A and B are shown apart, each in its own frame.
Chain A
Amino acid sequence: MMKSQNADLDKPLTLTELMRGAAAPEAESTGPRYWRSLSELADDGSFGEMASRAAARAQAAIHGLDEPSRRKFMTLMGASFALAGVAGCGVQPVEKIVPYVEQPELIVPGKPLFFATASSRGGDGVGLLVESHMGRPIKIEGNPSHPTGKGATDVFSQAEILSLYDPDRSQVAVHDGGVDTWERFLRFAVDLRARKLGEKGRGLRILTRSVCSPTVLDQIRRLREQMPEARWHSYEPVNRDAARKGAELALGSPMEASYHLEKADVVVALDADLLGWGPAGLRHARAFADRRDPEAESPLKLYAFEPTPSLTGAAADVRVPVAAADVLLVAAALAKALKVEGAPDLDAKRIEPHAARIAALAAELESKKGKALVAVGDSQPAEVHALGLALNAALGAIGEAVTLAPADELAPADQTASLVELVREIEAGAVDTVLVLGANPVYEAPADLKVAEALRNEKVTALIHLGLYNDETGALAHWHLPEAHFLESWGDVRSADGTVSLQQPLIEPLYQGRTASDVLAALLGQVGVPGRELVREYWKTRLPEENFEASWRQALRDGVVPLPAAEPAPAPPAPKLDKVQWPAPAAPADGEYELVFRPDPTIWDGRYANNGWLQELPKPLTTLTWDNAALVSPALARKLGIEDQQVVTLEFRSSTIKAPVLIAPGQAEGTVTVHLGYGRSRAGRVGNGIGFDAYKLRRADAPWSGPGLKLIPTEGRIPLAITQHHHDTKNREPVKVSTFEAARHHGEGEAHGHHHPDFSLYPDAPYKQSEDYAWGMAIDLNRCIGCGACTIACQAENNIPIVGKDQVLNSREMHWIRVDRYYEGEGAASADNPTTHFQPVPCMHCEKAPCELVCPVEATTHSDEGLNEMTYNRCVGTRYCGNNCPYKVRRFNFLQYTDNETPGLQLLRNPDVTVRMRGVMEKCTYCVQRINEARQNAKVEGRKVGGDEVVTACQAACPTRAIVFGNLLDKESSVSKLQASHRNYALLEELGTKPRTTYLTKLTHGAEAHEEPRHG
C-alpha cells in the first residue's frame, strides 16, 4: 500500500484509485491470505464498479445522508421481476468460472474454514469462531474453548458480521470535509509526533472507550512514557464506574467484582441484570441454567429487586419491582437483618410493602451462608456497591461466589470523571490535539457536559476521530479516519476473567479501515508497521520466547493465548462501610417520577444503531423493534390516563424530549425507563432518526437514574412496531410450568408429561422411513431466558432478510424462530408484577403437517428423515400453508425483502442457503444445509452422521443450551434423552400434528410468585 503511493504523496488519489490500491492483498508469510471476494480475485471489473459505487456512497456519507433512501434502504429495494435467487426459467445466462492463479493452501472452493477471533464490548470480551467461505466471513459462532461464552454468543456478536459488511460504514479518510488519504494522515501524524515530543505531549489528549486490548494499553503506556504530559481519558456510556467507586469506598482500591452463580444456591440481584448485561451475562446465563437443572440437588433460587423488567427479573423466582433509588433501602434492610457492621439505618418507609418478603429473604440468606451471593448492578450508585460487598462478605461469598479483580491501574477508575476532566481542560484551553479512538463522545456523553461545544473550542487545532462510522463526532473532527472492523484487523482482547484472545483478520479491510493501534503506532513513530507485527511485538514480550512461535500459532488456532500462570492475587481486604456517606432518601414530590436509563437490549449504547438485524430483533419482554420508548408501569398509565404509543414529553433537569409510551408490566410504579442508543443523526441509513435520544436527558451526576422527572402527556402518537400483541395465554397453556418439587418425585399421578393418544386413522408414513436418521429438536423452557440470540443466529445463518419498521407494523417480520413471551397471573396485580414465560418457537416439523397437505405444488413435503421440507424454488406463493400452520411459524416474502442491490450485502450471504425472492414462503428448516453438510462429510468418510453431530444455528448460539437438536433414532443422542424426559411435551399436541420439536416443562420453586403449581 505504502510503496504504491510513495511516488507523489502530494497528489490526492481518487477514491477508485484508493480502492484498487487496497485491493492488492497484503503479503502474508504464514497463514492463509484474505480477499474481499471472489469477484475481486477475478478482477473482471465488477469489483471496481462495486468499489466506485461504495465511493459514491462514501461521498454521500460525508455530505449528509440521502433522506429518501433512509430506512427503506434495506427493505423494499427490488420490487421487480428480477427473478434472482429462487427464480429460474428460460435459457440460463452464460456463467463464468474463475479459478485461482495460485491456489492458496487451505482454501477449497465450497468448503468453509473456521478462524478463531474475539470481540470486545465495554471492557470485556467474547471468544468467537468465524466461518469463512472463499475468504468471505459469513457466520459467527462462539468459541467453545473460551470461558466467557463456552461456545455461545450474545446477539451483538452474532450481528457483528452484518456490521462488517455495512455499506454505511466510513469508507474514506476525511480531512476538513474533503476526501483525503491515510498516507497523508500518516505525514500529519509524523509531524504531530515531532511537535508533541518537543512539548512532552502537552495539550495532547487521547479519548477511547473502555480498552481491553493489552497491545493498545501497552502502546498508550509507551506513549505516556514518551510524552509524559499527554493524557488518556476513556469513557464508555455503559460503564462500571459505580462498581469501581463502590469498591474504592469499601476496600480502598477500585476492584471489579465478578459473580459465579455456579457456586451459589441463593442469588439476590439488586437491580443487577446478571443474565442480560454485557459479555459476562453469557457466563452468568450458562451457570444459572446449569444450576436450575432439575437433576441439580439444590436448584439455584433467584431473587430480583429491580425498577424495570429485565431478563434477570423474568428468570427470578421472586421478583420485586422497586424504584432504583429504593434498591439502597432494600440492601440496607438486608444488611441490617444480617447484622452487617456499619449497616446504615435508613428510613425504610418506601419499601414497607416488601418488608415481610425481605425479612424472609434475609432468613434464607442466613441459612445459606457460603452458598449465597448478592449482586449489585452497574446501574446502582457506589454506596449500594459498597453495601453489596459488605453483604457478600457477611455471607462469606467473597473469594467464593464473588471474586474481586484489581482494575487496570493505567485506565481511569471513574470514566465519567475522566471525561468531565477532559472537557474542563478543553474549556480551559489547555488542549490543542484530541485523538478520539473508536469513541463517539458527541453523541454518547451526558448532555450537561456539552461535549460538542467543547470540541469546537478554537484552541483545539486537531480533532482526530477514528471510527467505524463517520458519526456525530466524525462530523466535528478535522481528521476522520475509517476504523477497521475487528473481523478485518489484528488485535487482542482481554476479557474480565483474564482470558486473552487474539483477533485475526478474516478479510482485507473492505473500506481501508485502520485500527486504534495503527494510529497509536504512527504516534509512536512505528509508521507503516503492519497490525500483525504490532500485536506479535507485544506478545513477544509477554510470552516465553523459546516457544513463542508455537504458542502464537496455538493462540491463533484455539483463540485463547496460553498465558503463563499468574501468581495468585493477594486476598482483598475486608470491606468497611465507615467511609461511606449514605444519601438521604429523598421523598419524591408528587407529580414527579423517577427516571431510569438503560442500554438498549438490542443496539446497546447506540453503536449498533445501523445494524438492521439488531434493529429488527424484538427486544426481550417488550418485543419492540426499530424504536425505543418510555416504559411506564400499568399503574402509572392508569393514573395519567396514557396508553401505548401515545407521545409524552419527558422533562428532566431542564431538558425535555418527546417519547412514545410503552406500558411495561412489572415496571416499578413511579419509575419511567428510557433506553439509550436511539435518535442518532449520523448512524447510517438504517439507524438515523429513529427513536429518541435519551442521552439528552442524561447527566454526569445522574448517569443511571434520578428523581424529578416530569411527564406531560401530549396528543401525538408514534406507532411502535411490536411483534407480539397478546400477552396472556387465554388458558391455552403453550408454556407448561411445574415445580422442582413436583419434578423431583413425579409419577405420583403427575399430570404433566402425559400424552394424548394417537388418533390418526392413517398409518404413520406412506412409505419406508429412513433407518438411519430421524431429526428432532427439544427446547428446554426451564433453561430459556428469552435473550433472542437464537433468533439472530438463525437470521445470520439462513440469509433471512430484514423488512423494516413499516412491514413489522403489519406483522410481516421474517424471523424463522421467534421468542414468544407470556405474562401469567390474575387481575391488575398480574399486570403490575406478572410472572414471565419465554418460549422459542421454530418450525415444529410435524409428522402430520397441516401445511404440507394444502400446498398445491409439493413445495413443502416430508422427507424420509422427518424433515418438513420447504422447497423455495417450487413455491408459487398461495400462502395456504401459512394459514394452515397452527404454530404460525411460516414467513412469506410479501415484497422483495432480500436486498440484491447492495454489493456489500451480497458478500454476506451464506452460500449454502438459497436466497429467497419475493412471493415465496419460507420457514425454519432445522438448518438442513448443516444436516446435509454433515451427511456429505460422513459419506465422504464412509460413516454415519453422529447423533449430536449436527448443531443448528440457534442451538449453537444459545447461551443456556436450551435448544438441543439431533437424531431421534440414536437413543444415545441428547435430544432422544431429553424427549424421553417426563417433562417433555408437544405444543398444541391435541391437534395430532405430531411435532418433531418438543418442549420441556419449565420448573419453578413454586414460591409465592406463583399460585398453585400447574401441570400439563
Chain B
Amino acid sequence: MADHQHDDGRPPVLAPGHTYATVTSTISDIVLTRPLDWRWAVGMGIGSSLLLVFGAAVSMLLFKGVGIWGVNAPVMWGWAIINFVWWVGIGHAGTLISAILLLLKQQWRTSINRFAEAMTLFAVACAGMFPLLHMGRPWKFFWMMPYPSTMALLPQWRSPLVWDVFAVSTYATVSALFWYVGLIPDLATLRDRAKNKWVAMIYGSLALGWRGSARHWSRYKSAYMLLAALATPLVVSVHTVVSLDFAASVIPGWHATIFPPYFVAGAIFSGFAMVVTLCVPLRAWYGLKDFITIRHLDNMAKIILATGMIVGYGYAMEFFIAWYSGNPYEEFLLLDARPFGTYSNAYRCMILCNVGIPQLLWVPAIRRNPVLLWIISIFVNIGMWLERYVIVVTSLSQDFLPSSWADYNPTIWDVATFLGTIGLFTFLLFLFVRVLPAIAVAEMRELVHEKHHEHAAAGAAVAEAHGENR
C-alpha cells in the first residue's frame, strides 16, 4: 500500500482512482455476481457445523438442567456468564464506530462501519443466548419482563439483572435499527442492479421502495444522525450495566466502583480486536484493500493500544484499592488468591495478553502490518475472555467464609456451548458477507464525492485533510 501515499504522508482512507460507479460495482458485485469461493465455503462449513454442536449442547441443557455445566456452590456463575460478558464486549465496537466516529466526522469509519455493525449484531445475538440458557428454568424467562400477569407481580427493578435485560435488549434493538437504516439505500442499489427478478423483489421489498429523493435524504440523514446520538450513550451504558451485575454485589473483587469505566474500556478493547480479527482476512479475500486500507488498520491499532492501557490501569487500581482499603477480603483475593492462588495461570495469561502484548502496537511498522496486527488481535480476544474468567471465578470461589470455598471446573458441555455460539457468530457473519453489502455503498459514494472536492481545492486540501483525518 506504500505506493499510494496520501499528500500528508499517511495512507489514504480510500485508494485513488475510484469513481461512484467503480465503488458501487466492486462492493455490490460481491453480493450479486461473485461466484462462491472455497474460502467462503470452508468458513461457512465450520460455522454451520459448530452451530449443530450448539444445538446439541442446548438440547442437552434444556433436557437435564444447568447441572450439566461445571457450576457449583459457591461458583454459581461459570462459563455462561463469562461468555455473555465477552460477547457483549465484542458487540461494542460496531455501534461505537458507526455512532461516535460518525458524530466525530471521521471519514475512515465509512468503509468499516457496516461490517462492524453486523458483527455487533451477531455478537449481541450470541451474548443474548447465555443469560437465557444459564437460568435454572429458562422457560420462565418472561418473568423478568414487565407484563400484566395474574400473579400481580412485576420484575424487581433493583436487581442489576433486570437492568441487564433492558440494556441488552435495547442495545440489540437500537443496533439492529441503526444497521437496517444504514442498509436501506444500499438495498435499493442491489434492487436496481439485480439481474434476476426475484432477487430484485427480495432486495426491493427490504429497500422499502427507496428512491433517493432529496427530501428523503434529508430526513434520512437527520434520523441517522439522531440514532447515532442516541446510540453513543447507549454503548457506554450497556457495558456499564453489565459491570453493575458485579459491582452491585458484596463479593470481594466484584464490589468495586472502578468497574463501569474499566468494563467499557475493556469492551471497546475487545470489540476493536475482533473487528481487526475479521477485517484482515475479509479485505484480503474480497479485494477490498482499496476501501479498508492500512490507514484503517493503523487507526484501529491505536484505539486498541489506548483502551488496552486503560484496562491495564484498571488492573493496577484494583491492586491499589485492595491494599489501600485495608479490607481483608479484598486484600486476600487481589493480592493473594488471584496472582498466586488456584487460578493464577489464568490471571497471568490475562495480564500478558491484555497489557503486555498490546505494547507492541507502539511500533508503527507493527500497526501497519496486517498479519502481525491480526495475531495481536487474537491475543487480545483471548485475554479479554480470561479477564472475565478471572473476575467471575476467583471472586466466587474464595469469598468470605473459608468453610464454603470450593474450586470450579468447566465440563465438556460448557465448552460445547461456547464453541456453539462461536459457530452461530461465524455462520451469521459468512451469511452476511454473501447476501448484504459488507461496506456502505452510499457512504462510499459520498466519500468519493468529498474526495473530488478535496482535490479540486488543491492547496487547502492538505490542511483540510489534516483536520479531517486527525
Contact = CB atoms under 8 A, between A and B. Distances in A.
Contacts of B73: 811-812, 882, 888, 890-892
12 contacts: A80-B63, A726-B402, A822-B403, A839-B403, A853-B159, A854-B159, A876-B136, A877-B135, A879-B134, A883-B74, A920-B136, A920-B137
User: What are the 5 A-B residue pairs with the smallest beta carbon separation, nearest first?
Assistant: A877-B136, A919-B136, A894-B67, A895-B67, A888-B404
A730 B76 CA distance: 23
Interface string A265-296: 00000000000000000000000000000000
A876 B400 CA distance: 26
Nearest to B66: A894
A30 interface: no
A880 to B, nearest CB: 6
Nearest to A850: B250
Interface in B110-145: 131, 134-137, 139-141, 143-144
A993 B73 CA distance: 21
B248 to A, nearest CB: 7
A752 to B, nearest CB: 19
Contacts of A884: 249-251
B250 A888 contact: no
B291 to A, nearest CB: 44
A732 B248 contact: no
Given A853-B159, A894-B66, A918-B136, A883 B77 contact: yes
Given A880-B161, A921-B136, A855 B156 contact: yes
B400 to A, nearest CB: 5
A735 to B, nearest CB: 10
Nearest to B411: A810
Nearest to B395: A883
B153 A732 contact: no
B144 A876 contact: yes
Nearest to B405: A726
Contacts of B405: 725-726
Nearest to A727: B402
A726 B403 contact: yes
Contacts of B134: 878-879
Contacts of A891: 73
A858 B2 CA distance: 62
Interface string A853-894: 111111000000000000000111111101110111011111
B161 to A, nearest CB: 4
A841 B404 CA distance: 10
Interface string A911-937: 000000111110000000000000000
Contacts of B403: 724, 726, 734, 818, 820-822, 839, 841
Contacts of B141: 876
A892 B136 contact: yes
Contacts of B316: none
B225 to A, nearest CB: 35
A876 B143 CA distance: 8
Interface of B (DSSP majority class): loop
A883 B136 contact: no
Contacts of A811: 72-74, 406
A558 B334 CA distance: 60
- Give the interface residue-count category, chain B: 35 or more
Interface string B240-266: 000001001111000000000000000
Given A81-B139, A726-B403, A878-B131, 9 more contacts: A725-B405, A732-B328, A732-B402, A856-B155, A856-B156, A857-B144, A880-B77, A888-B73, A918-B136
Contacts of A883: 74, 76-77, 249, 251, 396
B67 A734 contact: no
A836 B67 CA distance: 34
A705 interface: no
Given A725-B405, A882-B73, A884-B250, A875 B136 contact: yes
Interface string A643-682: 0000000000000000000000000000000000000000
B13 to A, nearest CB: 45
A890 B332 CA distance: 23
A810 B137 contact: no
B140 A876 contact: yes
A233 B404 CA distance: 48
A879 B162 contact: no
Interface residues of A, number: 60
Of residues B134, B156, B400, B401, which shows the largest number of chain A Cβ atoms within 10 Å of its Cβ?
Answer: B401
A973 to B, nearest CB: 28
A874 B250 contact: no
Contacts of A886: 250-251, 399-401
B420 interface: no
Interface string B277-318: 000000000000000000000000000000000000000000
B70 A810 contact: yes
A724 B401 CA distance: 11
B67 to A, nearest CB: 3
A856 B160 CA distance: 8
A865 B400 CA distance: 27
B65 interface: yes
A886 B400 CA distance: 6
A728 B402 contact: yes
Interface in A712-728: 724-728
A894 B75 CA distance: 12
Contacts of B162: 856
A79 B63 contact: yes
B39 interface: no
A480 B251 CA distance: 58
Nearest to B336: A730
Nearest to B137: A919
Contacts of B68: 895
A886 B250 CA distance: 7
Interface in A733-748: 734
A170 B330 CA distance: 56
B155 to A, nearest CB: 6
Contacts of B155: 856-858
B143 A857 contact: yes
Nearest to A857: B143
A734 B401 contact: yes
B197 interface: no
B165 interface: yes
Contact of B65 (A839, A878, A919): A919
B64 interface: yes
A731 interface: yes
Which one of A818, A878, A919 has the highest number of Cβ atoms from chain B below 10 Å of its Cβ?
A878
B152 to A, nearest CB: 11
A993 B250 CA distance: 10
A988 interface: yes
A80 B141 CA distance: 18
B425 to A, nearest CB: 24
Interface in A810-828: 810-812, 818, 820-822
Given A875-B136, A875-B137, A894 B65 contact: yes
Nearest to A730: B402
B64 A988 contact: no
A869 to B, nearest CB: 13
Contacts of B76: 879-880, 882-883, 892
Given A731-B328, A856-B155, A877 B66 contact: yes
Contacts of A857: 143-144, 153, 155-156
Given A79-B63, A732-B328, A884-B251, A876 B159 contact: no
A876 B401 contact: no
Nearest to B68: A895
B248 A729 contact: no
Interface string B44-84: 00000000000000000001111110111110110000000
A640 interface: no
Nearest to A988: B400
Give the residue among A726, A857, A883 with the most B Cβ atoms within 10 A: A883
B215 interface: no
A497 to B, nearest CB: 37
B158 interface: yes
